[in-house]
Amino acid sequence: MIELIDIHHHYSVKPTLRDINLTIPTGELLCVMGPNGMGKSTLLSVAAGLFAPIKGQVVIDGMVRRSSIETEKAIRKKVVYLPDSPWLPSSHTGREFLFAVGRLYEVDEDRLFDHADRLLDVFDLAGKADSPMSSYSTGQKKKIGICSALITDAPIMILDEPFSGGLDSSALLALQQILKHFAQRDDTTILVAVPVPELVEDFADRIAIIQDGRILACDSSANLMQQTQTQSLSLALETLINPQGRHHIDRYFEANA
């Protein structure tokens, strides 16, 4: 379970997160959405323990993040965080990287090798698995980053925009299926930031909409659509985040005409 209690965070004097209270029970997949620059990545970084919030605390399975070294070590054993652009050691091969990450999470060797093979097949990386990562394309780097998060078998996953960064349609579909599978399980908690609603509306248990560092709404996609009286999640989001959006588009075309 992830609990974000009264979180405030600032970059310089600019408030990035304000009064965030969010609980993600075990087994839930919560998707964070919102316009760019509104604090999605910061929220995930705070949840991942990379930033200490100015105010408030993050509780993972009853343990307060950053409260002590022992607690933080125990938390990090069960949490994997995938940043938007993860660092990959360029001189190592993709397979070596996956093994290294798996070993950090003390995954059993046999399971590690088999899982790595299957992940590499799923993301169409088998042919590049034994080449240095410096030779990978942007999309392939993104794929190997996703594989590294999945290979850990961590019960809590915090994924920052896993769908972005040049993934091909096959990889998008594969990731969707994998997240859908995790969403159906009761032992894996996932906090994921996604900019496009269509990618996750089928399987996200709840969607948190964040704007100006505050949570505007947090509910299932069906409830969000019902609240906004719209037919799709995209329209629901637009209604909540940018009610003037439709008007601006109409005005743009009127002027062009």
Partner 1 sequence: MINKLRTTRWWINHHLYWKFLLGLAVLLALTWPFAWGLIGLDQWTGESEFNSARELLVPSQSLILFIGILTFLTFRINKNPLVKQEHRDLLIRMGWHADKPLPFGTCFFTFTDVIAISGLFALLYARIDIQNNQTITDAYTHLFGTAPDIILWLSLLSCIIAMTFFQWMTAILAARRRVVHILLLLTLPVLIVYPHFLPSLSLMAFVLIHLTSRWVIQNNLKHFVWEKPYYDVNPVKRLRDEAAKSKLILAHFKRLAPRMTRKPTSLGIKLLVALLVCWWCDGLIGILEYMYKAAATYSAEDNFSANFLPAARDPLVAENMLWTISFHITVVPVFILNVALASWYMARFLVTGPIHIYARPFNFHWHIRKFDAILLTPILSSGLCLTLFWLANLQLISPRCFLYLSILGTLLIQWAVAPSAQSWFFTWNHSLFIGKQPDPRKQLNTQTIEIKIDAT
Q: Which residue's CB is nearer to partner 1, number 55 or number 251?
A: 55
67 touches partner 1 by CB under 8 A = no
Q: Which residue's CB is nearer to partner 1, number 111 or number 246?
A: 111
Look up residue 56 and give its two tokens.
């408030």
- Measure the CA dihedral 68/70/76/78, to 10°: -120
Rounded to whole angstroms, the Cα distance separating 15 from 11 reads 6
248 touches partner 1 by CB under 8 A = no
14 touches partner 1 by CB under 8 A = yes
**Contacts with partner 1, 164-203, as mask; x by CB under 8 A:** ----------------------------------------
Q: Which stretch binds partner 1 (CB under 8 A): 107-115, 188-196, 219-227, 245-253?
A: 107-115
Helices (DSSP H) in the chain: which residue ranges? 40-47, 69-78, 94-104, 109-122, 138-150, 169-184, 221-228, 233-241, 245-256
Question: Which of residues 6, 114, 198, 250 is near partner 1 by CB under 8 A?
Answer: 114
Convert 64-89 to b/e letters by CB count within 10 Å (16 or more is b). ebbeeeeebeebbebbbbbbbebebe
Rounded to whole angstroms, the Cα distance separating 98 from 89 reads 11
- Least distance in angstroms from the C-beta of 110 to partner 1: 6
Bridge partners (DSSP) listed for residue 156 = 79, 189
Q: Which residue's CB is nearer to partner 1, number 93 or number 188?
A: 93
- Write out the residues near partner 1 by the rule CB under 8 A: 8, 10-15, 48, 50-52, 54-55, 66, 69, 72-73, 75-77, 79-81, 83, 86-87, 89, 91-92, 96, 99-101, 103-106, 109-110, 113-114, 152
